[in-house]
Amino acid sequence: MVWTRPPSPPIPTVWHTFKAKDVDSDRLVTYRVQDLTEDRYEDMIQHFLNHFIEEEPCSVSKGTSKNATLREATIQLWRKGLEEKMTLVCYREGSDEIVGANILLVKSLDEDYDGDTLPYDEQGDLRAILEYVSNQFDVFKHYGVDHRMIAYGLTVNKRYRGRGIATEIIKARVPMCKALGIKLAAHPFSAIGSQRAAINAGYRTDYEITYDELAAMGPKYALPGVQSKSFKLMSYSME
């Protein structure tokens, strides 16, 4: 059964606030993590183009930013995620600049992970990797749930890095999930930075495979030039 967000709590709800250094000084200021509103969708797409697409391991390996077909497919994947109305955005007090964001959505037991929208179908690699990892560890069975929160990307504005903001955004998932009746967040983390942020937010690793081990399985599993060590399936149970 396809999950849809209920009308309450309303959008935008502020899910988490925290203190961290300002953008240009050591002064502590307040940041908030809230639902993304529809009027910022295009700004969010640009944020991910500026701060994600040239750093996320799979995108870097395939040269997505320079491949028009893959770039457009990736943008369409993000748009699909935004339409689920689950994206979290971080703002600094007194500013509407996007500090960081996490495109989220909810998948049910009987749904394909990404349907027909994966941006690497023509190579087959990302679909193959996701299917392989999912087959190694069944999160639905292990945690006894029929829905889980997944992500289409987590990134922080380069100007705000080094403040632990990615961790704070991931922490905001917990009150959000609890309010919406979602019992599990579980999905792959491809980059070292996001893996560390997830660990700091209390996530556990359910399955891990190195990129070298993936490449040894055959060309469709290979991601040349990846700087991260491994691909991890990580989870957080709300119960």
Instruction: Transcribe 67-101 into DSSP letters.
Output: -HHHHHHHHHHHHHHHHTT--EEEEETT--S--EE
**Calpha distance 56→120 (Å, rounded):** 14
Question: Could you report how far apart the first and last alpha carbons of the chain are, in Å?
Answer: 22
User: Which of the residues in the chain have pLDDT under 70?
Assistant: 112-125
Residue 7 CB coordination number (10 Å): 7
- Report yes or no on 2 lying in a domain: no
Q: What pTM does this model have?
A: 0.94
Write down the pLDDT at residue 117: 52
Residues in the chain: 239
**Calpha distance 132→178 (Å, rounded):** 29
- Report yes or no on 7 lying in a domain: no
- Report yes or no on 37 lying in a domain: yes
Q: How far is CA 51 from CA 97, 107, 127, 205, 218, in A?
A: 13, 26, 23, 25, 30
- Report yes or no on 206 lying in a domain: yes
Write down the pLDDT at residue 115: 44
- Report yes or no on 215 lying in a domain: yes
Which value, in Å, is the radius of gyration of the alpha carbons in the chain? 17
The number of distinct structural domains making up the chain is 1
Answer for the pair 211, 228: CB distance below 8 angstroms, yes or no. yes
| Rounded-to-5 percentages of helix, strand, coil across the chain | 40, 25, 35
- Report yes or no on 25 lying in a domain: yes
Crossing angle of helices 41-51/68-83, nearest 10°?
140
Alpha-helical regions (H) of the chain? 41-51, 57-61, 68-83, 125-136, 139-143, 165-171, 173-180, 192-200, 211-216
- Report yes or no on 45 lying in a domain: yes
Residue of 174, 108, 172 lying closest to 139 (CA atoms):
108
Write down the pLDDT at residue 121: 47
- Report yes or no on 4 lying in a domain: no
Tell me the two tokens of residue 117.
């929208």
Helix or strand or coil: residue 28?
strand
Residue type, 133: V
Q: What is the domain-level CATH number for residue 205? A: 3.40.630.30
Answer for the pair 146, 140: CB distance below 8 angstroms, yes or no. yes
**Calpha distance 172→197 (Å, rounded):** 12
Write down the pLDDT at residue 108: 92
Write down the pLDDT at residue 112: 58
Burial-class residue 159 by CB neighbours within 10 Å (0-12, 13-18, 19+). Answer: exposed
**Domain encompassing residue 105:** 14-237
pLDDT in tens, 148-169: 999 999 999 999 999 999 999 9
